[in-house]
């Protein structure tokens, strides 16, 4: 659209005017994604400074999560035995491209220490499968992350 910037300027967007319901939905969605990130970071048995920094960068991007409470999020987020709540919210509210971006972020987190633990990879594949991402797409995302880290 040629004058999209003008329409965006004249027509209020949800980014600036949100209802309480939108705020709650966004907050819940960001918490669900945060839980997935924490789960990936924790699954190999230790949480590195680099993993914490990447999780912190996600929180900073969020307009509803508080970066000062990162340690509290990490320490008080229970180990997830069921991902269905996270997955259902993500599938309900995010586009396919946004879901692919989440899978990319999960792989980035797993590779942040220049190696991927088998449990991290298994969990990412499980999450991506539950999000109905094709194996070929998962592999492409993984390879994209690998090529950036080499």
Decide which of 24 and 66 is more confident: 66
| 102-to-5, 9, 52, 91, 135 alpha-carbon distances in Å | 27, 29, 17, 11, 15
Tens digits of residue pLDDT in 30-45: 888 888 998 898 888 8
Query: In 12-83, which ranges are E strands?
Result: none
Q: Looking at residue 72, what is its pLDDT?
A: 76
Spell out the domain ranges in the chain.
Answer: 24-149
Q: Which tokens is 76 given?
A: 């008080």
Q: Kindly report the CATH class assigned to 24-149.
A: mainly alpha
CA torsion 128-79-50-58 (nearest 10°) is: 60
Report DSSP state, residue 82.
-
| pTM to 2 decimal places | 0.75
**CA gap 104, 24 in Å, rounded:** 25
Q: Which residues fall within 8 angstroms of residue 87, CB to CB, at 6 or more apart? A: 127, 130, 131
Tens digits of residue pLDDT in 74-133: 777 666 557 787 898 899 889 999 999 999 999 999 999 888 899 999 999 999 999 999
């Amino acid at each position: 659209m040629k004058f999209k910037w003008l329409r965006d300027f004249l027509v209020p967007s949800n980014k600036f005017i949100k209802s309480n319901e939108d705020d709650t939905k966004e907050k819940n969605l960001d918490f669900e994604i945060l839980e997935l990130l924490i789960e990936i970071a924790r699954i190999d048995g230790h949480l590195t400074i680099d993993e914490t920094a990447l999780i912190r960068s996600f929180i900073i991007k969020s307009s509803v999560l508080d970066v000062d409470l990162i340690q509290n999020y990490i320490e008080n987020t229970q180990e997830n035995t069921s991902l269905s709540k996270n997955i259902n919210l993500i599938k309900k509210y995010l586009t396919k491209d946004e879901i692919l971006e989440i899978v990319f972020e999960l792989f980035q987190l797993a590779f942040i220490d220049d190696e991927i633990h088998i449990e991290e990879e298994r969990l990412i594949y499980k999450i991506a499968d539950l999000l109905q991402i094709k194996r070929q797409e998962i592999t492409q995302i993984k390879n994209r992350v690998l090529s950036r880290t080499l």
